[in-house]
Amino acid sequence: MSNILVKRKLRLSTSIGLISFLLTLGLTSAWQATQASTPQQLAQATTAQNAPAELKNLLTQVDAAASKGDAKGVLQFYAPNFTHGDGLNLQTLEKSLVSLWQRYPKLQYSTKLLSAKSEGNAIIAETETKIIGSPSANSKNLALDATIKSRQRVVGGKIVRQDILSERTQLTSGTNPPQVDIKLPQQVKVGQKYNFDAIVKEPLGDDFLLGTALEEPIRPDKYLSPTSVDLQLLTSGGVFKEGQAPSIPGNQWVSAVILRGNGMTMVTQRLQVVKK
């Protein structure tokens, strides 16, 4: 049994990358209804509590529509020249959404507006989106739980730019997936060493653990190309790794995969690599 599991390969990184698109879904059409609001009102809307009521109401409505997996309905609120901090464009976005919703047809969205302010003819908004996906045959019975914060630049009711500020995605399967506590800095400087710990929180008993940690540069091709993961037998209650940031600024996905006899957990967080 253990020999088979040690050699097992997982192809999960596609799901991780595609999740990053989801946080804009509850935002775009909502801004069209706020065009009647004055710049002063928008400039003062710095929290969810004092944002225009029509904006908050439409966020809820669009979350419901996104849960139906209507890619065309979502894309109509993106500008043709849309750009993304990870190097994506409108065409890549459409392919990614369709691919993701085929794998996870039961995603549920809940978007919260954190802040909104005017900047010339643009609106700069920060949002936090919670995404829950129940196990399904399409996803090979993986459950999904993601929380993503991002910043959007909106002009004329269309998103023209998006940047991911932070993200955490957890995929689980089985009857008793390990409960994993991740310790990873949100930001490091180029060339800096850092520690990445993924600790199993509950007692293991007689269970053995298989797992690994991996780092991936965030690039457009990574959103659609899965990465195989080789699992190794773990001699301690988790994965502990010292990493080193690349020599150029950018973003990395840092993941831990931990498997035991009756469950698997994969947790991924975004690591920002900045100039010194």
Task: Say if residue 196 is in the same domain as residue 176.
Answer: yes
User: 212: domain CATH number?
Assistant: 2.60.40.730
Residues 117, 225 share a domain: no
Q: What percent of the chain has pLDDT over 90?
A: 30
Whether residue 80 is found in the same domain as residue 151: yes
Number of structural domains in the chain:
2
Residue-level pLDDT at 42:
52
Q: What is the rounded distance in angstroms from the CA atom of residue 229 to the CA atom of residue 213?
A: 9
Domain ends where: 154, 169, 184? 169
Note down the domain range covering 116: 15-169
Do 251 and 128 fall into the same domain?
A: no
Tokens matching residue 187: 């930001």
65-98 residue pLDDT tens = 677 887 777 777 788 999 988 888 888 888 877 8
Report pLDDT digits (tens) over 212-255: 998 888 877 766 666 777 888 888 889 999 999 999 999 999 99
Helix (H) or strand (E) holding 136: none
Instruction: Say yes or no: 143 and 191 in one domain.
Output: no
Shared-domain flag, residues 30 and 164: yes
Do 183 and 138 sit in the same domain of this protein? Answer: no
Q: Is the dihedral of CA 184, 185, 190, 191 positive or negative?
A: negative
Digit-coded pLDDT (tens) for 201-220 = 987 777 788 999 988 888 77
Residues 133 and 244 in one domain: no
CATH code for the domain of 119: 3.10.450.50
Q: Are residue 152 and residue 239 in the same domain, yes or no?
A: no
Q: Is the CB of residue 44 less than 8 Å from the CB of residue 23?
A: no
